[in-house]
Structure 1
Amino acid sequence: MSSIKPPFTDLDIKKADKGFYDGYSLPIALISKISMAALVIWALVWPANANSVLGSFNWALLEGFNSFYVVIVGFFAFFLLVIALLPKTGSRIMGTPGEKPEFSNFSWFSMMFGAGLGVGLMVFSTAEPLGLWGSNPVIVAGEVAPNTVESLESGYRYTFLHYGFHAWAIYVVTGLSLAYYAYTRDMPLTIRSALTPLLGKHVNGVIGHIIDVLGVVATILGVSVTIGFGINQFVEGVYAITGMGWLMDVTGDAPSPTKVGLMAALIMIMGMSIVSAVSGVGRGVKYLSNLNLVLSLVLVAIFIIFGSFAFSMTTYGSAMLDYILNFISLSFVAHGPLSADTFATMLPEAVKALPAEDVASLYSGATNAWGSLDGFKSGLPASFAALENADALAATVYEAGTEGRLFGWQSGWTSFYWAWWIAFSPFVGLFLARISKGRSVREFILGCVIAPALVCFAWMTILGGTAIDLELAGIAEGSIIGASNGAKLFVTLGHMIDGGFLQLITVMCVVLIMTFLVTSADSGILVMNTIMSGGDQLAGNKHRIVWGVILTTVIGALLLAGGGGLDALKNAMIIGALPFTMVMGLMCISLAKALYRDGLREKAGEVSEVAAD
């Protein structure tokens, strides 16, 4: 036992000792900034090309890695469960023995909640349950009809999946890895520290720089998507209050924010974020986070009083049971793409004999995850319609494309979410580690996985359940379903309350969106600055300002490349998240090794003490 080597903690991140980058790692800073500058220039100078290439590359990537995304996130959830339940690992304190937590439970939870999911909850509180009520794998497989009482259970099953234990486990894998080494081994709070048990002294060189750069790039893209969603909803909210025409384009099927409106909102939000980031975690982020939580509770209270609370709570209970019963299949059942050749082998002989271009058209329609059987039938080629028993054959052909539809749905919805959470995890994980010193491993896992997930479930059922109940009762008459994702919350409120009170609550929602956006952005700026400075949490303000400007230009350029939409942002984020997903897998192996070896060292120390006595 006594021969066990001490852990490697001699992390040496070379930093500049003078000039603008004094105290910062030059390779991490320059590689990160050059990468982002290249992306911005590409998106601004060749926006159509950037949007097209990012979209094509993203789809090719998902065809190969969809199953990887799904399975590794399931692994994260079960990995943390085991660590929390084991007495030896769960009871370890992240800090010196007897050290007390830095923040109160209320502030700890507020900052965790605001930085981790505030914007997502505001945008998707009604949009997610409504969207999944109309489209989820059970509906795609043809087992239930969309937007019905029967599809409610499966809709919430996948809502809970996307915002539940799996999602928060992604954050905690990164956060726990960083916190454990920082507070038990006194190592810098930076990404490469989490891989020292596997890589040892190699983290001090090029490999370590690459790991940290992957964390910075993933953070920038993850935060960018979040801010992009939030900016859209912020503009929708300001328009609902003021009616200023320059904010919204009302010429399409559904009103959408104009490019000018998006850019104006982005500059305002990011300016506030930079000011908050300069003030630091203990002041700006803490106070904003507490305000976020209080306003969130007020919003939930409005829905409890004026919304469909009984319907929501019934839904909460049944959805929670259904989610737990399906937990393993949700964790590990992944779908792969269905090739045209495989599809053709499953077709009836009469259909195989049709012209090749018509069979290709059938393949495209039958594997479209966002279509329906009725839509498929309405688009059949003339040669197919002339076949005997065409209607029955259409159902058979559509059934043959089920695996393709399930893959399309999972890669376009669940894998997008996992990539989003993973891209966000260097930011939120490092931030969670920063505010969790002195807490036990078990407290960290339960506090950052179970507690916020339960709050997300309540939020989604209280707000989203009210929107669904208004549609089921015929009160909304499709107006909530037909609204854009950013506007769904405001349309739902409009059916619940009216007059001056509605105006007041809408203003409160806009303020809440704004503070959530500022909290997410300023926390992201602090984290990027911490990584670039080799783990120094007190690094200077000038680089926080620089990172704030970089983040603003990345979001603005990708929004413009996407024509004011979020496609370019989302595609870039999914691509950027994949390398860091692999880093996270190594983090789990590394942490398991560290916990096991530290247990052996502890045991050896106890044996030595007994022998000495």
Structure 2
Amino acid sequence: MSLEEPFTDLKIETQSSGFYKGYSLPIALVSKLSVSLLVLWALVWPFSANDTLRSWKSGLLIEFNTFYDVSVGLFAFFLLLIALIPATGRMRLGAEDEQPEFSNFSWFSMMFGAGLGVGLMVYATAEPLGLWETNPLTVSGEVAPRSEEAIEGAYRYTFLHTGFHAWAIYVVTGLSLAYYAYTRDMPLTIRAALTPLLGEYANGVAGHVIDILGVVATILGVAVTIGYGVSQLVDGAFLITGMQWLVDSAEATANPSTAGLIAALALVMMMSTLSAVSGVGRGVKYLSNINLVLSLVLLAVFIVFGSFSFAVTTYAAALVDYIANFIPLSFQAYSPMSKAEFASVLPAEAVPFVGELFTGATDAWGTKETFLDGLSADAASLSDETKAVAYEAGTQGRLFEWQAGWTTFYWAWWIAFSPFVGLFLARISKGRTVREFIIGAVVAPSLVCFAWMTILGGSAIDLELNGGANGAILAASTTATLFVTLGEMISGHFLTIISIMCVLLTMTFLVTSADSGILVMNTIMSGGSEDTGLVHRVIWGVLLTLVIGTLLIAGGGGLEALTNSMIIGALPFSVVLLLMCVSLAKAMINDLRRSSNEEHSDTSSN
């Protein structure tokens, strides 16, 4: 029985003239309206916006923490399956004789810079160090924080957050878009990935909604990335120049000031918009190559002056541990704990203090010592056994709070980032096979990220573990950790030179992320066209700047409002990602069946 031909008649109506010539008016207007309302809300009622976003985020995590975590595990296993199956793995994204547009070096450079460049600069030292202090093994009391035994857990979850799972999120989007664009000659836009499920409905309101969700998610994902990046940029600039206005106080570990963040943001976004105007083939490509070269220089500094032997040993052990725990890490989701659940397991004498005990016992960022020290005089008078039981009873709550604050935050970030990175990956991957795409965009970047995390982060941990840093690195803010670690390793003019290089590297990573995001948003709004209007690229550069700036102001110069918005905005797009997996599986199975039927018909006719 022959199959019907797949639906490929995707018609995204665009304006033939006027200001929005070449753009889909519903997508462009609704996307701009949504972003503009967010900007106005954060600008006019900053405190209300911040409080509301915090409340929405908390409620969302209570209901959807498990959904986020299990979904990401499914993405990783879905890609593993289609890469391992010979028939699907050898499918080519394009014609059978299609050759890749970019060399492997440029392809990897652009993929690396767009996918995790800024995140690696901010978190390469901060994440392993932070997880050394608090991870599920320390939260549950299995090992002591900041101990040699805690290193295993620190890197197990560092690899989880920056490894195969994270890149799988990007590649689900990228592979879906590339498959339909290059094997079925469809527009390179989000709705195309759901055409096997939507059919002709993709041309209507349903398709518009999917593309709008992609634009909004991209805005929020890129906004958080740039928010962290400009914070690190200000930290570095302050440590190099000592200019007081860049921070809230004169101390080296002080947080960046709002004025410093806004100034850095304006500079980065101006450069990003100019780069976006030049297009992928020039601005993004050249900046990405520079990023990779400077990254290798920074890596070499840590190899020579850092704890390289510690890093090599940790890399091997952590990689084996990550793979050994791959399945439980993929589907391990913790549920929130209610006060009633907590009270039900307390001894009778502790029930009158349930509120106070619950708050401290479920705090994932504290320790048993801080829990005991924080008790009031009456609660502290409880027996040691009762207090121990109360703290143990809060383990589930601590594990949930930790997962929501670390892992789920990351999954939301990668999901919000996936329309941007996925479409960008699809744009630069024409001519590659499905297996090559998955290995090249999941496995290879993950192994490089692991090296970064063990070489840079391992040096920070080793300095603290052996007492060389005397707590200086642990005391630094997230975005200042890299510079403080460098200060413990090297000194003098060489430190100044490397710090300046790090600032430039952060800036080029930021520019690459922002200009790629601007290009991607315009591609979605123009119905998949890669030749978008220069004026609209500039407009979206300005809008992106306003979103980040106003949410920074709403958060009092902090990143809370940005991250809360991103976690909320990522939820609807996570549903789209799951549908993409179903859609791609259906398309591949039916295409293989059609191919088999054609071969059978040819054989019969001969």
| Range class of TM-score, shorter chain | over 0.9
Matched, 1:214 2:213: yes
From 443, 450, 454, give the equivalent of 2:443. Answer: 450
Give the AA of the match of 1:555.
I
State the match for 1:347 in structure 2: 346
Matched, 1:575 2:568: yes
Cα displacement string for residues 335-377 of structure 1 (whole angstroms, at most 9, x for unaligned residues)? 011111111111112223x2xxx21111111111111111111
Structure 2: segments with no counterpart, 5+ residues: none
- After alignment, is 320-329 or 587-596 more displaced? 320-329
Question: CA separation in 2, counterparts of 1:361 and 1:329?
Answer: 33
Question: CA separation in 1, counterparts of 2:443 and 2:378?
Answer: 55
Matched, 1:420 2:419: no
How far does residue 242 in structure 1 lie from its aligned partner after superposition? 1.1
State the match for 2:433 in structure 1: 440
How far does residue 252 in structure 1 lie from its aligned partner after superposition? 7.8
Give the AA of the match of 2:97.
G
- Residues 239, 252 of structure 2: 8 Å contact kept: no
From 356, 359, 362, give the equivalent of 2:354. Answer: 359
State the match for 1:241 in structure 2: 240
State the match for 2:590 in structure 1: 597
State the match for 2:386 in structure 1: 393
Question: CA separation in 2, counterparts of 1:104 and 1:114?
Answer: 15
How far does residue 472 in structure 1 lie from its aligned partner after superposition? 1.0
Matched, 1:410 2:408: no
Residue correspondence of structure 1 range 6-45 to structure 2 within 5 A: 6-45=5-44
State the match for 2:155 in structure 1: 156
State the match for 2:507 in structure 1: 514
Matched, 1:375 2:374: no
Question: CA separation in 1, counterparts of 2:242 and 2:379?
Answer: 50
Secondary structure of 1:28 counterpart: helix
Q: Provide the alpha-carbon RMSD of the alignment.
A: 0.9
Question: CA separation in 1, counterparts of 2:245 and 2:149?
Answer: 42
Secondary structure of 2:337 counterpart: coil
Question: CA separation in 2, counterparts of 1:184 and 1:449?
Answer: 21
State the match for 2:87 in structure 1: 88
Cα displacement string for residues 521-550 of structure 1 (whole angstroms, at most 9, x for unaligned residues)? 000000000000000011121111111011
Secondary structure of 1:24 counterpart: coil
Give the AA of the match of 1:77.
A
Give the AA of the match of 1:263.
I
- Residues 253, 480 of structure 2: 8 Å contact kept: no
State the match for 2:479 in structure 1: 486
Question: CA separation in 2, counterparts of 1:385 and 1:599?
Answer: 68
- Residues 276, 516 of structure 2: 8 Å contact kept: yes
1:188–1:201 distance in 2 versus 1, CA, 3 Å: same
How far does residue 251 in structure 1 lie from its aligned partner after superposition? 6.2
Matched, 1:469 2:462: yes
Secondary structure of 2:479 counterpart: coil
Secondary structure of 2:4 counterpart: coil
Question: CA separation in 1, counterparts of 2:354 and 2:133?
Answer: 28
Cα displacement string for residues 426-475 of structure 1 (whole angstroms, at most 9, x for unaligned residues)? 00000000000000000000000000000000000000000111111111
Question: CA separation in 1, counterparts of 2:595 and 2:233?
Answer: 52
How far does residue 383 in structure 1 lie from its aligned partner after superposition? 3.0
Question: CA separation in 1, counterparts of 2:85 and 2:149?
Answer: 40
State the match for 1:289 in structure 2: 288
Cα displacement string for residues 260-309 of structure 1 (whole angstroms, at most 9, x for unaligned residues)? 11111101000000000000000000000000000000000011011110
Number of matched pairs:
606
Give the AA of the match of 2:516.
S
Residue correspondence of structure 1 range 70-149 to structure 2 within 5 A: 70-149=69-148
Secondary structure of 2:18 counterpart: coil
Give the AA of the match of 2:185.
D
Give the AA of the match of 1:432.
L
State the match for 1:547 in structure 2: 540
- Residues 70, 330 of structure 2: 8 Å contact kept: yes
TM-score (normalizing by structure 1): 0.98
Structure 1: segments with no counterpart, 5+ residues: none
How far does residue 477 in structure 1 lie from its aligned partner after superposition? 0.2
State the match for 1:557 in structure 2: 550
1:176–1:289 distance in 2 versus 1, CA, 3 Å: same
State the match for 2:379 in structure 1: 384
Question: CA separation in 1, counterparts of 2:389 and 2:253?
Answer: 35
Secondary structure of 1:586 counterpart: helix
Question: CA separation in 2, counterparts of 1:580 and 1:168?
Answer: 16
Give the AA of the match of 2:135.
N
Question: CA separation in 1, counterparts of 2:318 and 2:146?
Answer: 16
- Residues 372, 380 of structure 2: 8 Å contact kept: no
Matched, 1:530 2:529: no
Give the AA of the match of 2:119.
G
1:188–1:84 distance in 2 versus 1, CA, 3 Å: same
Give the AA of the match of 2:12.
I
How far does residue 18 in structure 1 lie from its aligned partner after superposition? 0.9
From 583, 586, 589, give the equivalent of 2:579. Answer: 586
Give the AA of the match of 2:272.
S
Secondary structure of 2:589 counterpart: helix
Give the AA of the match of 1:541.
L
How far does residue 250 in structure 1 lie from its aligned partner after superposition? 1.6
Question: CA separation in 2, counterparts of 1:223 and 1:554?
Answer: 10
Secondary structure of 1:168 counterpart: helix
How far does residue 612 in structure 1 lie from its aligned partner after superposition? 2.1
Secondary structure of 2:478 counterpart: coil
Question: CA separation in 2, counterparts of 1:370 and 1:252?
Answer: 24
Question: CA separation in 2, counterparts of 1:235 and 1:414?
Answer: 26
Give the AA of the match of 2:152.
E
How far does residue 515 in structure 1 lie from its aligned partner after superposition? 0.2
Give the AA of the match of 2:145.
P
How far does residue 384 in structure 1 lie from its aligned partner after superposition? 2.8
Question: CA separation in 2, counterparts of 1:189 and 1:437?
Answer: 11
State the match for 2:305 in structure 1: 306
- Residues 159, 322 of structure 2: 8 Å contact kept: yes
